[in-house]
Amino acid sequence: ASLAASLAQALSTAEATQREADGQLRGLERRRTEVNQQMALLRANLRDLPDGLPLLAQQRQDYAAARTALDLAEQRWGPENAEVNAARQTAELAWERLEKAAQTASAGLTQELMSVEAEIAQVQGQLAAAREQSAALRQRASTMPGEAAELTRLSAQVLQYEARLARTEDQLREAESNYAARGLNWQVMDVARVPERKTAPSGVRFGLLGLFLGALLTAAKPAWRSLGALARQAQAEAEEAQDRAEVG
């Protein structure tokens, strides 16, 4: 029993490290995607950027206002006039400031991309080491009878639910990023406000499993009871995120 408890503690620690590294990696990969998208926008024609983007918002607004003033002046005074020339000069200066700001932003994004790539490589190494350690501990536990074997099953259950949650969160963030790239606002309706659906959510499939898991954990030893609680929490979060994705 003491050996099973020690294995449970070691596996819980190793998989917590793995989950943390995996979360960091997904966050860094999302940031890398965002930086690449912003760099692609900067390489395009600045005049064609969609409205609503925060990228260079003030400079673009200043240039748009200057262009509008120039167009109005030309309509009123014709192509050659002192006021028209002044408005044209203002528009040209606003465009120069916009281009300079774009160059500065591009240089900053390039530096950030290099930093993110370095962090990704570092976290990938940490994640690989954590996965290797977890796999070794699970293999060791699988050779033991009773509690250790059940511990292996529970830890696999945790990883299954968290992988499902991670996929759903990535889908939500990808949708949000796609909307933002087109200058649109992304909104996800609160699950609590969604009218009751005629069909049960897909998470119901895990209901009996959750009941069995809860009953099993009631009689389990404290050393690995926390893993079961983590499995239930991960299951609930995964089901909630999937419901949000279906509503969105």
| Domain segments of the chain as ranges | 17-142, 145-248
Cα-to-chain-centroid distance, residue 124: 17
Tokens 């070691």 map to which residue?
10
CA dist 226 to 58, 159, 161, 211, 229, Å? Answer: 51, 14, 15, 16, 5
Q: What is the mean pLDDT of the chain?
A: 72
Predicted confidence (pLDDT) at residue 223 exceeds the cutoff of 50? no
Angle formed by the axes of helices 82-142 and 57-77, to 10°?
Answer: 160
pLDDT score recorded for residue 164: 65
Question: 158-169, pLDDT tens digit by residue?
Answer: 666 666 666 666
Provide φ and ψ at 113, rounded to 5°: -60, -40
At residue 99 the predicted structure's pLDDT band, cuts being 50, 70 and 90, is: very high
Predicted confidence (pLDDT) at residue 73 exceeds the cutoff of 80? yes
pLDDT score recorded for residue 200: 38
Question: 10-68, pLDDT tens digit by residue?
Answer: 888 888 888 899 999 999 999 999 999 888 888 888 877 776 678 888 999 999 999 99
